[in-house]
Amino acid sequence: MSTVNEDEIVVPPLPDPIPQAPRPPKKLKPARKQVKPGDVNKTETVQTGKEYNIWYNKWAGGDREDSYSNKTKSQTRCQIKRDSGLTRANTTGMKYICLFFARGCCPYGWECEYRHTLPDPNEEFPDSSKDCFARDKFADYRDDMGGVGSFNRQNRTLYVGRIKETGTGPETEEVVIRHFREWGTIERIRVLQYRSVAFVTYVSEFHAQFAKEAMACQSLDNDEILNVRWATEDPNPVQKVAEKRRLEDMGREAIKAKMDPKIVDAMRAVRALEEGVTLDDDAMEEDEARDSKRRRIDNGHEDDEEEEEEESVSPPVPVPVTQPTPQPSNGILNADTLESLKYFAEIRKKQGISVGQQKAPPPPSKAGLGLGGYGSDDDDD
């Protein structure tokens, strides 16, 4: 059986993402109370099982879990544009989202200890082993692909079942997009016509977590009861390679953002020297310009304050500036590469590691085996 090399797989470009609509308000007001105490009447579903399963929190041995007899339509639904607002979490520093806000039934409003907004994909949560609602993830998914999910795989795709199709495939896709784009930007969507199933993939995993809770037991346009779960891993090899490359790019960017740009340039020069590859001066100049611009943006406020203090203390005195003339290099390395190597060497010196310093071999032990010199009669030998 022939195996396909991942490098040979050509990943097609992704379609344009579907932006979120309606957008949440930019200027938040105090969050409103979605429901009043007593408005939601929780009715217990009639159990037909014989044994109670403490893991799934339901009776086992009765009707199937996905049958309509065990599901009731949700009485509330979150509306991002109207329900988003400020809570106590904005002052206490709590970053997790209110689970009942996502379901549309939080009675506390601005007094809630959790946030009443969509999770920000650019903001990191304190614990990666929890979802955006501060619930602990597990090592593996449940058998029915429900629940919180797993921390071993970044899942951004939702399985949406029980869709009542009243038109063609594109019409059903438009309906699904209209209801699910409210919870975040959608990367792609696929509708299986005549099977009442759709797969919705979000750009952010946090938006997928929010949408799963917000659309559970909701309806689209035909008063159905949706079955929203986590999707299993896509068996398509092209999608597997695309997801692997996406995660590698994310890890590479995260590591690069944490490192000093000069160290990155120095390591790149050393790697190019080892491989015998000549670095492109234009690419290095572009990277240096981008890094310097980033540093100016990060330190812009501090530099402005320092300049204001200096101007208030003493008038500026003109100082002649002599620009150093670049020294031409006669070797295979250009001046920029040599400067990067010197900077890397200075960093190693500061860390207590001297460049080119080798440990001297240990002196031979004077204490022998207690034997006299060969052919000697002296007792001192």
Q: What integer pLDDT is reported at residue 13 of this predicted model?
A: 78
- Of the options 2.70.98.10, 3.20.20.70, 3.30.70.330, 3.40.228.10, the CATH number for the domain spanning 148-232: 3.30.70.330
157: β partners? 201
State residue 337's pLDDT score: 75
Contacting residues for 190 by C-beta, under 8 A, at least 6 apart = 198, 199
Question: Considering the chain, what is the average pLDDT of its residues?
Answer: 79
Share of the chain above pLDDT 90, in %: 37
Q: Using a pLDDT cut of 70, give the percent of the chain over it.
A: 71
End-to-end CA distance of the chain: 74
1: pLDDT strictly greater than 50: no
3-state secondary structure of 85: strand
pLDDT in the model for residue 60: 76
Q: Which residues pair with 191 in a beta bridge?
A: 198
Domain boundaries, the chain: 148-232, 239-273
Task: Judge whether residue 314 has pLDDT over 50.
Answer: no
Specify the higher pLDDT residue, 9 or 379.
Answer: 9
Angle subtended by helix axes 335-350 and 261-275, to nearest 10: 120
202: pLDDT confidence band, cut at 50, 70 and 90? very high
Q: Given pLDDT bands bounded at 50, 70 and 90, which one contains residue 136?
A: very high
pLDDT of residue 52: 84
Return the H-helix or E-strand segment holding 187. Answer: strand 186-192
Would you say residue 173 has pLDDT above 90? yes
Q: Over 60: is that where the pLDDT of 2 sits?
A: no
**pLDDT greater than 50 at residue 321:** no
Please state, in angstroms and rounded to a whole number, the distance separating the CA atoms of residues 219 and 345: 64
Q: Quick one: average pLDDT of 319-346? A: 64
Name the residue with higher pLDDT: 381 or 249: 249
- CB of 83 closer than 8 Å to CB of 101: yes
pLDDT value of residue 62: 62
Q: Is the pTM of this model over 0.75?
A: no
Higher-scoring residue by pLDDT: 201, 4? 201
For residue 347, pLDDT beyond 90: no
In 3D, which of 218, 204, 192 has the Cα closest to residue 17?
204
Span of 3-17, 26-40, 70-84 with lowest mean pLDDT: 3-17
Instruction: Please tell me what DSSP assigns to residue 299.
Output: T
**H helices within the chain, ranges in order?**
80-83, 89-92, 99-103, 169-180, 205-214, 237-258, 261-275, 281-298, 300-313, 335-350
Predicted local distance difference test score (pLDDT) of residue 229: 96
